[in-house]
Structure 1
């Protein structure tokens, strides 16, 4: 029986349910904005079977904002390990096709981002994020409560009252929060409690992930090392065998849709791993997990003061690596909107725009990932590719040519998916200048992520965005007026916009850029960038009605 002495009560602005990568990313964004939060997570935080290995480039840009990109890159992935993807009859056997991506140390930096994707498996990433979230505690302790299970919640007009159990001592916790955000995974008890449906969009598939240690494999493979090996031994072995830590830890994915040994899905894990490697090498199976691949999008991402993010809002195939990264960008979109609501400057449509903006991105990512999955599932793999003969060489060459024609590279190099989405919501001002035909790489397009360009050694335009709206001015003149935050002065028209934002308590900073290359990239003399780094408005001159613009981008008139 729970005694009165064992019950605790706490207040917070945002209660985050779930301490995975998305929940912790939201916590980091809220901490960056000075918002009080509490994360409750039923697990102990130990990742014994890492499921996520690559942090995508847009996620890396956000971790740069939160001060963690450098630590992720230093987490342990060897800088000299190839990032290639290879299709093989077996690891160390016949190689059919290879996509070469260099190494973390040798690959060139893309022109469109300061933070390319990086391999950081979940058992490295999770504790790194948790440590950073934990330092934001007050006198009451860490805002991350592990082994704390949410039992239920009720919401009213002013907030959410949740009850939880500390699984270490069975004590009860009551949390009063202004908002609750569910980051509690694909099965999301919070989503189910709200009654929001998440129907299957495609058939569920069943897989096994076999985690194993092979301490001599990297050295034995030498120049044939890769980050990902796609096996070509159907039916079960047509999925990836992946290097997890770049040293001795690997994960083999096995298809088990029928769940029988005859079809390869029910075999002994050590035997499955041995059949995936062409030569004898020391092996140790560490774990063997069955998981269900679902394709779902919740019917609503917001129900009053309860919001869904990450897998609680959408689940998709890991093919392409969009899942966790879609969730982390959810957190970036939601964080500034919650901060605005709590600070009192949000309009009535701001928080509803979270669903409006993120749902199409989730839908597109799901479809792109499913195309990648179907490419792998539907690939014809003739038995001749296994032959060690001229006939086998011809069969492998023909298969490699078919892969190249089929666009296999898109699964592993898809910047348009990571960066190319554009928000279309009441918060975005469309200017009728043909933005639909413009590319995110070469213009500041309304609704799209503002482009990256180098302003100086190690300083990106992206480093200007985050805490406030940012008015980017590319006027090429020295305006007269009061000095702005960047040391330059503002014109009267710019001052009117700054005043309109200030009267509504909406944070705005102005930056005058005299770099003609950056101005040419952005393409408009004036570009207004939101706190999440997306373009809200652009114009050839300051807005004729600055108050109307301020009201639009903050979500309407209160």
Structure 2
């Protein structure tokens, strides 16, 4: 689906039901069952708002795609109770692995970017990395979304939409039978990928570097013997003997199955110029194994691009994933950002359709997610210049946001979507991802806030708009993270039991469930006594944590009728009541 046409407006619900085409109403229609769409459906379900998901393909992805989940994503997946399933579906982090830049896979690396994902982030999170591929992750998300009430219709495409003030009237078509159905949705989530038509229909423009390079993506099987015997590996190739001078090799979830890409000049060449024998020869050159027996399973053309939506919402349409931010794959955060788009949007959209929030809450989707998406896309563009441009390792140094600043601390995933290969950022990048702030959205910023969108993720401030600081507790001899108590509702964290009554009043006033976590000094792990200072709330204050782990409001004042009113006011502001 490359573009959509509008249909005639329909005057009222009675007319919508007329005619030969069946009609139904859904609160949320999600177009596209990739990582972003399925994540949105999953987190809508977590918060009690089932969605209808349509996908024109017959199933979730069956091709090698994004591999790897950052700790921020694993935290979100734990809230959905699928972190263990995703972790078990992926690469064992204790096994040998590598991400390097080299001339050939068999040769000595020019630069080593990463040799281990097994690193300690306990100061900022209880979650580790996950290394499942997109094929397996999408299937896990689809099952969980369905368990939580979503309906997923495969072999179903969006034919047209009529944008209205009160919703979106969509015509859907079964691609197998050709039969059509009309759906009226209160909101539509565009997760229809980099070829999105919904973005155009919504009148949302794009900016960025545009099309950067064209690549042929090859999926092949071979016995690499001792040349490459690791379950996970990624090699960016800078080799003048390769067509286009550069390429990339990566492993997949299946042993003996690999992906290889080489570049070409789209102005003078096309996919038809590269026959089977030529593609096999490129694999052999890139591997540095001229006699390698290669079985070619799939050949496809792909584009590396940098296109960013001018905004993430328009009327009743909201963008997530590649519909919002198309980025080069070099950095590992394309798939991760897609999941976090759904994590962020899910609780907000559920609050609106469930009547707990005003529609203005959805304005924060653009204000909060677009700066992050642009930051990640810019960083990955700089990484592309370094890793996959012929001679890039010599020509290009550190880029914006520190692309490839250190060669020994690179973390992230492998995104094989359309042949994409993702590496990722270093500890500074991890600190940056944990240090991202939402300063223009659904938060109650303090009067002296500097409105900076980043702080040091390893030294969190606990101020509104920032991520909740990590806090380790011990319960019955078991060490747990405060983050394990978050994510399914708004939560008040405090050292004072008096805030329970304040939360009860707020719940009665707003009809919104609020959990209170009272941290007793006896629970503190490692004799930590300064947690209230790190949270900025003192011994009697409280902090309000949103379902996406960001601080929405805090106070150092003790619970009282006045501070209870401040809590109610803060929640009303956050929820656009």
Asked whether the two chains share a fold, i.e. TM above 0.5, the reply is: yes
Instruction: Deviation per CA, 1:338-364: give whole Å up to 9, x if none.
Output: 111122221453111111111111111
User: Tell me, what secondary structure is at the counterpart of 1:328?
Assistant: helix
- Are 1:468 and 2:489 matched, yes or no? yes
Q: Does 1:540 align with 2:546?
A: no
- Per chain length, whose mean CA-contact separation is higher, i.e. which structure has more relative contact order (CA < 8 Å, sep 6+)? 2
CA contact (8 A) 2:239 2:245 kept: yes
The 5 A counterparts of 1:242-261 are: 242-245=250-253, 247-258=255-266
Is contact 2:29–2:51 with CA below 8 Å preserved after alignment? yes
Is 2:517 aligned against 1:527? no
Does structure 1 residue 278 correspond to structure 2 residue 292?
Answer: no
Q: Deviations over 1:189-247 (max 9, x none)?
A: 11122222123434432122211112x3264435x886211222036353431111262
- Would you say the 8 A contact 2:31–2:158 is kept in 1? yes
Match of 2:421 in 1: none
Aligned residues: 516
1:88 shift after superposition: 2.4
Q: Deviation per CA, 1:253-290, whole angstroms, max 9, x where unpaired?
A: 2122356679xx95721111100112344321211211
Partner of 2:347: 336
Distance 1:237 1:161 in 2: 48
2:466 is paired with a residue of what secondary structure?
coil
In 2, the alpha carbon distance for the partners of 1:532 and 1:65 equals 10
The 1:115/1:218 distance shift into structure 2, 3 A limit, reads farther
Structure 1 residues 48, 404: CA separation in 2 closer, same or farther (over 3 Å shift)? closer
Partner residue in 2 for 1:87:
101
Instruction: Give 5+ residue unaligned stretches, structure 1.
Output: 383-395, 480-488
Partner of 2:178: 170
Which runs of 5 or more residues in structure 2 are unaligned?
1-17, 411-423
2:125 to 113, 131, 147: 113
Query: In 1, Cα distance between the equivalents of 2:189 and 2:231?
Result: 41
Determine which of 433, 438, 441 is the counterpart of 2:458.
Answer: 441
Query: What is the aligned partner in structure 1 of residue 367 from structure 2?
Result: 356
Give the alignment partner of residue 217 of structure 1, picking from 215, 221, 224.
Answer: 224
Q: Structure 1 residues 96, 423: closer, same or farther in 2, change over 3 A?
A: same
Deviations 1:355-389 (A, max 9, x none): 1111111111111111111222557379xxxxxxx
Conservation of the 8 A alpha-carbon contact between 1:81 and 1:246: no
Q: C-alpha distance in 2, partners of 1:352/1:328? A: 19
Q: Provide the secondary structure at the position in 2 that maps to 1:250.
A: strand
**TM value normalised by structure 2:** 0.81
Work out whether 1:291 is the aligned partner of 2:291. no
Deviation by residue 1:281-318 (Cα, 9 ceiling, x = unmatched): 43212112111122122222222222111111111111
Distance 1:60 1:239, change over 3 A: farther
Do the aligned partners of residues 379 and 305 (structure 1) sit closer, same or farther apart at CA in structure 2, a change above 3 Å counting?
Answer: same
- Please report how far the alpha carbon of residue 545 of structure 1 lies from its aligned counterpart in structure 2 after TM superposition: 4.8
Contact 1:44/1:147 (8 A) holds in 2:
yes
In structure 1, C-alpha distance between the alignment counterparts of 2:163 and 2:492, rounded to whole Å: 37
8 Å contact from structure 2 (residues 239, 390) kept in 1: no
Q: Determine if contact 1:209/1:252 at 8 Å carries over to the other structure.
A: yes
Instruction: Give the distance between the partners of 2:216 and 2:239, measured in 1 at CA.
Output: 16
Aligned pair in 2 of structure 1 residues 221, 503: CA closer, same or farther (>3 Å)? same
Asked if residue 511 in structure 1 is aligned to residue 517 in structure 2, the reply is: yes
Q: Residues 136 and 143 of structure 1 are in contact (CA less than 8 Å); yes or no, is this contact kept in structure 2? A: no
Deviation at 1:451, TM superposition (A): 2.6
2:468 maps to which residue?
450
Matched, 1:312 2:327: no
Distance 1:165 1:404, change over 3 A: closer
Change (3 A) 1:221 1:166: closer
Equivalent residue number for residue 482 of structure 1: none
Assess, with a 3 A threshold, how the Cα gap between structure 1 residues 303 and 289 changes in structure 2: closer, same or farther.
same
Query: Partner of 1:77: helix, strand, or coil?
Result: coil
The equivalences for 1:55-204 within 5 A come to 55-78=69-92, 81-102=95-116, 107-108=119-120, 110-137=122-149, 143-204=151-212
SS in 2 for 1:231: strand
Give 1:36's match in structure 2, choosing from 50, 63, 66: 50
Q: In 2 relative to 1, CA 84–519 (structure 1 residues): closer, same or farther, beyond 3 Å?
A: farther
- 454-463 or 122-131: bigger deviation: 454-463
1:380 equivalenced with 2:391 (yes/no): yes
Structure 1 residues 520 and 205 mapped into 2: Cα distance closer, same or farther (>3 Å)?
same
Partner residue in 2 for 1:232: 238
* Counterparts in 2 of 1:379 and 1:165: CA distance versus 1, 3 Å: closer
Structure 1 residues 123 and 380: alpha-carbon distance in aligned structure 2, compared to 1, 3 A threshold? same
Give the deviation of 1:71 after TM superposition. Answer: 0.7
Q: CA deviation at 1:116?
A: 2.6
Q: Is the 8 A contact 1:212 1:251 kept in 2?
A: yes
CA contact (8 A) 1:97 1:400 kept: no
